[in-house]
Chain A
Amino acid sequence: MSFFQRIFPILALLSFLLLIGLVWKDYDRPYLEYQRKFKALLDQKSTGSSKPVEFGFGYRQRWSKELGRVDRCETCHLGLDDPRFKDAPQPFTTHPVIAEHAYEKFGCTECHGGQGMATTVEDAHGPTENWNKALYHDNFMENSCSLCHGEYLQAQAPVLFRGQTMFFEYGCRGCHKVDGRARTVTGPPLDEMSKRVKSDWLYRWLMGPKDYWPQTKMPDAKFTSQEAADVSAFLLQGPGPEGQAMSGDAGPGKTTLLESRCTTCHTIEGKGGKTGPELSKVASKAYPERLFKVVKDPHALWSDSKMPIFGFADKDINDIVTFMSQEYMDLDLNENEAARQAQLVASGSKERGKELAVKQGCVGCHSKIEGVKEIGELGPDMSTFGVVHISLLDFGDIKVPFKERTVPNWIYNKIKSPRLFKEGLKMPDYYFSAEEATAITTYTLSLKGKEVPASYTLPLGERPSDYAPQGAFGKIVDKYRCLVCHKINGKGGEVANDLSQEGSRVQEAWIKKFMKAPDTIRPMLEERMPPFKILDPENDAIFAYCRTTLVTDKVEDLTGPVDKMALGDPQIIRDGEKLYFEKYGCNACHQINQKGGLVGPDLTETGKRLRPEWVVYYLHDPKAFVKRSVEPVYALTDKEIQALTAFVLSSRSSVTH
C-alpha cells in the first residue's frame, strides 16, 4: 500500500469536512446578524398581539426593470416601511415620509447612490475597489431630486435650489459650460476703466475684493502684488477722466441722498440692501465725473445694470456727488500707501496684465475687455460632472484615505478651497461658507446628464416666467428697473411686493400720489421704495397698464356685490369695529392711527388706498394671492366680511379706540 493509498480515507474525510465548511461559510452571511437583531426588536414590539410574528430570513431585493436597478438594501434596512421603528437605531429606522416614492418603483440607489447589488455593508455603502459611487452624504441628498422633478424645485429641495441659484448668480457658467447655456452677466463691463476708477483702488480691489465690498460676488484670484499691478495697468489703459470738476453743495446733496433711500439697494458702512455695491468708500474708488454719469444714466454705461434712472436734475446730481466725494472717503487709507500702489500700477506690465486677464478668465463675467475676445473653455464642462469618474479627479498632494476618495468630497473641497489640491491651480476663491459650498456641491452632483424613463418624470415647481412688458409700460419698467425689486407675473425680484394684480387692488388717486412720493405702508420693513422723479405721463401710463392688464376677474367680478353692500352704513361700521378689536383682534398685527401691532401693513389710509372689492376678496382668503401671507385664514362669514370691510375703509374718520 503506497503512502497515498493509506491517506486516502483521511483525505476523503477532510474533503467532506471542508465541504461542510463551505456550506457553513456560504450560509452564515453577515446580513443574518442584522436580521436576527431586527427579529428580536420585532418580537419586542409585537408583544401582546395574538399572531406569531412572521419574519423570513434571507435577502430581499427590489428590481426596477425600467431603471435597470437591483436594490438589496432592505436585506438589512428592514424597518423602512414599519412606523413602529421610527426611533429604532439604524439600520432599522423607518424611512422619512417623502411623498409617493414607493420602493417597488424607485428602489433606493436611484436617489441615495451606493451599490444596490451588494449585501454587505462595506460593499453596499461604498466606496470599494470596484464601486466608487458611494452613498450620498445627507448634506448632498437632494441632488437626485432634479432627475425626475426637473430644475425648478424651490420648496421641496431648498438646498439644491439654493445651489442652483448661486451657480447662476456667481457666474460659474462664465468658465464652466453646462449644457451649452449662455453665461450669466455677473460683473460690469470693463471698458474705459481709466476714466472710471483710480489706479490705486483698482490695485486694492484686485488684491482682495471682499475688503472693499464684503458681499461682492467677485472671487479672489489671489494675485501677487506684481500681478495685481500688471492687470491694473492693462485695464487702465487710455485717457483719464474728462469733463470739469464738480462743484456743488454737500449739504443739499446729503439730504437728497438720504431721501432717495439708496440703502434699499446699496450698503453704506455695511447696512443696506444686497443689490448694489458698498458706498461708504466710493470717493476713493471712482472719479466724480464718473459718479455723475452713473447717477444720471446708469444704463448708458452698462445696459444690464440693475440701477434705475432716478431722473434727478443735474444740479441735484452735482450736490450728491460733491457730498459723496467729501464724505465717502476711505478713512483707513494711508496716503503714502495709496501713492505707492499707484506707482506700482504705473510701472506695471500691460502685456503681462493681458496674459493674466486671459488666463484668469475675467471675460467669464466681464465684457468689453480691450483686446480680449471670447477665449473658449476656461474650466471643464460641467454638464455631466455629477457622475464624473473618480480617476479623472486629482487630489494632488493631499493624502486622502481611500474611503474618502469620492466625487462629492472632491467637489465640495474644490468649491470651498479651489487651490487646495496643489500648486498652480487657477480657479479663484469665492470664500464660500460651508453651507454655501454644500448647496453648490449638491447642484453640481445633480448634473448627471442622465435621463430617467418618461414614466418617472414629474416636473415640479414653478418654471421661470418669460414675462417681458412691452410698449410704453415696458420702457418705464426698464427705466426704473421695477422688476429688480417687484415681481409681475412670475418675473422679478422679491424685495418688494408682487404687482401682478395691482390694478385690481389700489385706487387711482392713491397710487399716483404714492408713485411720486412713496411713504411707509409696512412699518416693519427696512427697505423703502426710492422716490423716483416719475413724470406725469409716465404715471398715467403706469396706472393705465395696471388697470387694464394687472387685474384679476376674481376681484373685478366683486364690483356688483360690493355696490350692494352699504359700506357707509354706521351700524355696519360699528359691527365691523367690534369684530376688528374684539372678535378677531386684528389690531394685534395692524396699526390704525398709530395704535396696534407692526406685523402687517398700516390700515389707517386703507379707505384711500385699497379698492373695496380687493378688501372683500382678500378677507375671503388672505393666502389666495400672496401664498406666504402671515394673516390667519379665519373663514369669515359674508356678513362679517361686509362689516370688517366697511370698518377698515372708514378707519380714518371713526376710530375711537
Chain B
Amino acid sequence: MALHTRNETFENGSATSGIPVVSKWLEDKTFGLGLINISLFVILNVTGILLMFYYAADTDRAYQDIKDLQFVITFGAIFRNMHRWSAYAMIALVFLHMSRVFYMAEYRRPRQLNWVIGWVLFLCTLIASLTGYLLPWDQKAYWGMTIMSNVMASAPIIGEKLKYVVLGGSEIGQNALSRAFDLHVKVMPLIMSFLIALHVIRNRTDDLIANPQMHGDAEVSVWPDIICRELSKFFIILIIIMVAAILFGAPLEEEANPSVTPIPAKAPWFFLGLQELLSWGAPFWFAIVIPNIVLLFAFLVPYIERGQTGGGVWLHPSRRLQNILFTAFVTVAIGLIILGAFFRGPGWRFYWPWESWPLH
C-alpha cells in the first residue's frame, strides 16, 4: 500500500497556514518514537522468551536461576541485561512518545480513541514492568512489591481485597510470584501485541480519514523502502541496547528476606513518583484520588481539548496554554521521581544527595 509522507498529511488543511512555527528544526519531527517503542517491544519479547527457558517462578529457586543466568548460562547475562535495559528504556520512551503526540496535538479528531489506546498501552507497560520487577525475587523486588501492594491497600473500601487479589494472599509469597509471572509472560504480551497492532493500524487509517485525498500517486513503496528505513531504526535501537547490555550489568540485590527491611524501602523507579506523592499526605487522597484524577484527565484529553489550530507541529503558539499545562505535568511527574530517588533517605526524610545516611 502506498502512503504519503507524514508532512503531506498535515500540509494541507488549516494547520499551519499563516502562523509561524516555534522551531524550524523541530517542526514536525517524531523522532520515530513509536517505531523505537515497537523495536523495544520486539527485543523484550525475544529476550524474554529466551530468559524463560531457564527461569522458574518458584520462590525456592527464582533467585538462584538469576544467578545461573548471570554466571553460567551462555548469553544469560547478556539477555538479562538487554531485557532489563529495554524495559526501562521503553517506559521512558513511551512517556516521551505520548508527550510528543500531545505537543503536536495528534490526538484530535479522528485520533481520539487512538490516544486512549495509547494511554492504555502506557499503563500496560507499567504493569508489565511492575510484574517483571518481582521475578528476580531479590530484596528490591520483594520490598518494592510490598510498597506497591500497600499503596493498593490504601484504596477505600476495596483496598485490602484488591491487595489480596494482587498478591494471591495476605503476604508476598509463592502465589504472588506465580501471579506476577503469568501476568508478565502471558497476559501482558498478548494484550499489548493486540493493542499495539490496533494502535498502529488505527494510526494509518486515521491518516486516511483526516486526509481523504491521500490515495493518489504512489510516491514511496513500502517494500523495500519503508521497511528498510524502519529496519534501520530498529537496528540502531538494537545496537544501543546490545552495547548497554555489554557495558552495564542489570542490578541485583540480595535474595528476598522478609525479616530484613532495606532502609528506606523504595518502589521501582517508575513508581517512585507515586511513592513520593504518597509521602505528602493521606494515602486516600495522594495515592488514589489524585493519581486517578490525573489519569482520568489524561484519558479524556482529546475530548476536553477540541482546538482546531496548531496541530501537526511542535509547540505551535496557538496552543500555548495547553503546552504550558502539559509541560507542568511532565515536570512534576519527572520531578517527583527525581525527588524520591535522590533526596529521600531513612524514614523518607529529606536528605541532600551528598548527605550520608545514618545506619541505625
> Which residue in chain B gives the minimum CB-CB distance to A18?
B242
Give the contact stretch, choosing among A128-136, A343-351, A501-509, A521-529: A128-136
List chain A residues, Cβ under 8 A from B269.
none
Contact B75 A26 (CB under 8 A): yes
B228 sits at the interface (CB 8 A): yes
List chain A residues, Cβ under 8 A from B228.
4-5, 8
Contacts A18-B239, A18-B242 given; does A389 touch B257 at CB 8 Å = yes
A11 sits at the interface (CB 8 A): yes
Please pick, from A8, A18, A129, A131, the residue contacting B232 in the complex, using a CB distance under 8 A: A8
List chain B residues, Cβ under 8 A from A624.
none
Contact A72 B232 (CB under 8 A): no
State which residues 275-301 of A face B: CB under 8 Å.
Answer: none
List chain B residues, Cβ under 8 A from A395.
359
Q: Do most interface residues of chain B lie in helix, strand or loop, or is the interface mixed?
A: helix
State which residues 50-71 of A face B: CB under 8 Å.
Answer: 59, 61, 70
Contact B233 A132 (CB under 8 A): no
CB-defined interface of A116-131 with B at 8 Å, one 1/0 digit per residue? 0111100100000111
B191 sits at the interface (CB 8 A): no
Contacts A5-B232, A117-B71 given; does A22 touch B78 at CB 8 Å = yes
Contact B260 A389 (CB under 8 A): yes
State which residues 55-106 of B face A: CB under 8 Å.
Answer: 64, 67-68, 71-72, 74-75, 77-78
B339 sits at the interface (CB 8 A): no
A132 to B68, CA, bound (A): 18
Contacts A117-B64, A117-B71 given; does A8 touch B239 at CB 8 Å = no
> Which residue in chain A gives the minimum CB-CB distance to B220?
A2
A464 to B359, CA, bound (A): 43
A21 sits at the interface (CB 8 A): yes
A564 sits at the interface (CB 8 A): no
Contact A5 B229 (CB under 8 A): yes
B138 sits at the interface (CB 8 A): yes
List chain A residues, Cβ under 8 A from B253.
129-130
B222 sits at the interface (CB 8 A): no
Contact A8 B360 (CB under 8 A): no
A132 to B254, CA, bound (A): 8
B357 sits at the interface (CB 8 A): no
What's the nearest-Cβ distance from chain B to residue A324, in Å?
51
Contacts A4-B229, A72-B72, A129-B253 given; does A21 touch B235 at CB 8 Å = no
List chain B residues, Cβ under 8 A from A26.
74-75, 77-78
> Which residue in chain B gives the minimum CB-CB distance to A2?
B229
What's the nearest-Cβ distance from chain A to residue B230, in Å?
8
Please pick, from B236, B254, B263, the residue contacting A130 in the complex, using a CB distance under 8 A: B254
Contacts A14-B239, A15-B235, A15-B239 given; does A119 touch B229 at CB 8 Å = no
Contacts A7-B232, A15-B235 given; does A25 touch B260 at CB 8 Å = no
A72 to B259, CA, bound (A): 28
Contact B252 A119 (CB under 8 A): no
A391 sits at the interface (CB 8 A): yes
List chain A residues, Cβ under 8 A from B78.
22, 25-26
* Tally of A interface residues using CB under 8 Å: 35
What's the nearest-Cβ distance from chain A to residue B143, in Å?
12
Contact A130 B138 (CB under 8 A): yes
> Which residue in chain B gives the minimum CB-CB distance to A124?
B71
Contact B67 A118 (CB under 8 A): yes
Contact A70 B257 (CB under 8 A): no
List chain A residues, Cβ under 8 A from B77.
26
Contacts A12-B235, A15-B235, A70-B64 given; does A120 touch B260 at CB 8 Å = no
A394 sits at the interface (CB 8 A): yes
Q: Which of A72, A130, A132, A392 has the most CB of B within 10 A?
A: A130
Q: Which of A4, A12, A129 has the most CB of B within 10 A?
A: A4
State which residues 250-302 of B face A: CB under 8 Å.
Answer: 252-254, 257, 259-260, 262-263
List chain A residues, Cβ under 8 A from B259.
389
Contacts A22-B246, A131-B254, A394-B360 given; does A118 touch B71 at CB 8 Å = yes
What's the nearest-Cβ distance from chain A to residue B256, in Å?
11
List chain A residues, Cβ under 8 A from B71.
59, 72, 117-120, 123
Please pick, from A4, A18, A117, A131, the residue contacting B243 in the complex, using a CB distance under 8 A: A18
A466 to B72, CA, bound (A): 53
List chain B residues, Cβ under 8 A from A120.
71
> Which residue in chain B gives the minimum CB-CB distance to A393?
B359
A123 to B72, CA, bound (A): 13
A169 to B254, CA, bound (A): 37
Q: Which of B71, B75, B78 has the most CB of A within 10 A?
A: B71
Kindly list the 8 A-B residue pairs having the minimum CB-CB distance in the complex, ordered from nearest.
A11-B235, A4-B229, A117-B67, A4-B232, A8-B232, A119-B71, A8-B228, A5-B228
List 10 other contacts, CB 8 Å, given A12-B235, A22-B242, A392-B260. Answer: A4-B229, A5-B228, A8-B228, A11-B232, A11-B239, A22-B245, A61-B72, A70-B64, A131-B254, A389-B257
Subset of 17 A-B contacts with CB under 8 Å: A4-B228, A7-B232, A8-B228, A15-B239, A15-B242, A18-B242, A25-B78, A59-B72, A61-B72, A72-B72, A117-B64, A117-B71, A118-B71, A120-B71, A130-B138, A389-B259, A394-B360
Q: Which residues of chain B have a CB within 8 Å of any CB of chain A?
A: 64, 67-68, 71-72, 74-75, 77-78, 138, 225, 228-229, 231-233, 235-236, 238-239, 242-243, 245-246, 252-254, 257, 259-260, 262-263, 359-360
